[in-house]
């Protein structure tokens, strides 16, 4: 479902991937919060489900479930509160933030083997306090939103500190619990400034460039934006988490489109229903897009009742084929759209 104030942006729904799986292993997702796309098309889905369902599930766009790695815990190679994932440019390394353990863990993306970790609780350069979003630039440097330190840190692939920017506040360049982050095709850095209900754009060296949005539920307004992505034309896509939607802005911040979600059943869901005919009958008599009573007047209550809608859109990513992938935490799925 897309509404648009401009004719230059075309967003076409393609498919849904996912089904819930509250088990430590196996096909399906458990509260996915982010994903990263490998150069060969594999999709690495970061599952945050607690207390034991944390893992990275690796799939492809044909909905084949390939393998998984990591688990819930505090030991090396484990994740307690996984928040963000990024891949090196060659796809060989997976970098994952852990906001509970205040560290970054690195894995071999092919084998899933743990490689190393860095970070500790603190506020000095290279320390973290609940790191969340993570993005990689063309030189494989990492940008990490250091949530409770209200800053962004830039580090090498080995974790050596390069620079930091940001401080607590609501002024230009200030941050309040930043979450999602991306590196745009032009090298600038976009940050989902979560508690300030806005997106900020910075240079690669942390110089403030622009800000977009304010608190609210109107066009171009946000409620706790969780993720951000930028396409080759400079259009900005925001996971407007608190408003249960995705918005698209032009490079100048003008509103282009609002998406509420239009999910269909995934291949995995069809497999499940084929093996569970009783569930098929239950779905036939269920109203999955009901007319809601007046007191269901918040985005959360509406999305929780309308199956095709986004419920907990936690991140947005754009792959090399120009597809927008929306990670939907509360319904354990990914909605896929073609941009063009």
> Using CA of residue 83, residue 156, residue 231, residue 190, what is the dihedral sign?
positive
Nearest to 141 by CA among 116, 160, 166, 122: 160
Q: Report whether pLDDT(254) > 60.
A: yes
Q: Report whether pLDDT(109) > 70.
A: yes
Instruction: Count how many residues are written for the chain.
Output: 340
Give the three-state DSSP class for 52.
Answer: coil
pTM of the model: 0.96
pLDDT tens digits, residue range 260-296?
999 999 999 999 999 999 999 999 999 999 999 999 9
pLDDT tens digits, residue range 199-213?
999 999 999 999 999
> Using CA of residue 219, residue 216, residue 100, residue 330, what is the dihedral sign?
negative
Instruction: Tell me how far apart the alpha carbons of residues 32 and 123 are, in angstroms, rounded to a whole number.
Output: 28
Query: Residue 51 has what pLDDT?
Result: 84
Instruction: Tell me how far apart the alpha carbons of residues 39 and 36 are, in angstroms, rounded to a whole number.
Output: 10
For residues 137-148, give the mean pLDDT: 98
Instruction: Tell me how far apart the alpha carbons of residues 312 and 220 are, in angstroms, rounded to a whole number.
Output: 18
Assess contact for 328 and 16: CB atoms under 8 A. no
For residues 91-108, give the mean pLDDT: 98
């Amino acid at each position: 479902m897309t509404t648009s104030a401009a004719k230059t942006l075309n967003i076409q729904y393609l498919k849904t991937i996912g089904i819930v799986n509250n088990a430590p292993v196996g096909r399906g997702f458990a509260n996915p919060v982010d994903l990263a796309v490998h150069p060969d098309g594999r999709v690495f889905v970061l599952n945050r489900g607690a207390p034991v369902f944390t893992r990275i599930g690796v799939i492809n766009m044909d909905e084949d479930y390939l393998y998984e790695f990591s688990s819930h815990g505090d030991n090396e190679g484990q994740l307690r509160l996984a928040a963000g994932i990024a891949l090196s440019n060659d796809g060989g390394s997976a970098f994952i933030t852990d906001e509970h353990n205040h560290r970054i863990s690195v894995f071999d993306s092919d084998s899933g083997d743990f490689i190393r970790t860095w970070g500790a609780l603190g506020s000095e350069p290279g320390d973290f306090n609940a790191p969340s979003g993570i993005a990689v630039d063309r030189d494989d440097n990492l940008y990490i939103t250091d949530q409770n330190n209200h800053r962004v840190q830039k580090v090498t692939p080995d974790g050596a500190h390069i620079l930091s920017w940001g401080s607590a506040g609501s002024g230009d360049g200030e941050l309040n619990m930043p979450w999602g982050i991306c590196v745009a095709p032009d090298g600038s850095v976009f940050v989902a400034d979560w508690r300030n209900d806005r997106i900020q754009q910075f240079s690669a060296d942390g110089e403030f460039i622009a800000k977009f949005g304010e608190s609210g539920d109107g066009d171009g307004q946000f409620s706790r934006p969780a993720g951000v992505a930028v396409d080759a034309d400079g259009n900005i896509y925001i996971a407007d988490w608190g408003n249960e939607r995705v918005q698209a802005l032009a490079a100048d911040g003008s509103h282009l489109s609002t998406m509420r979600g239009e999910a269909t059943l995934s291949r995995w869901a069809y497999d499940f229903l084929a093996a569970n005919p009783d569930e098929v009958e239950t779905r036939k008599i269920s109203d999955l897009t009901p007319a809601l009573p007046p007191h269901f007047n918040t985005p959360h209550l509406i999305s929780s009742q309308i199956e095709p809608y986004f419920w907990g859109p936690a991140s947005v990513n754009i792959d090399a084929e120009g597809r927008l992938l929306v990670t939907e935490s509360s319904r354990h799925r990914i909605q896929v759209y073609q941009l063009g």
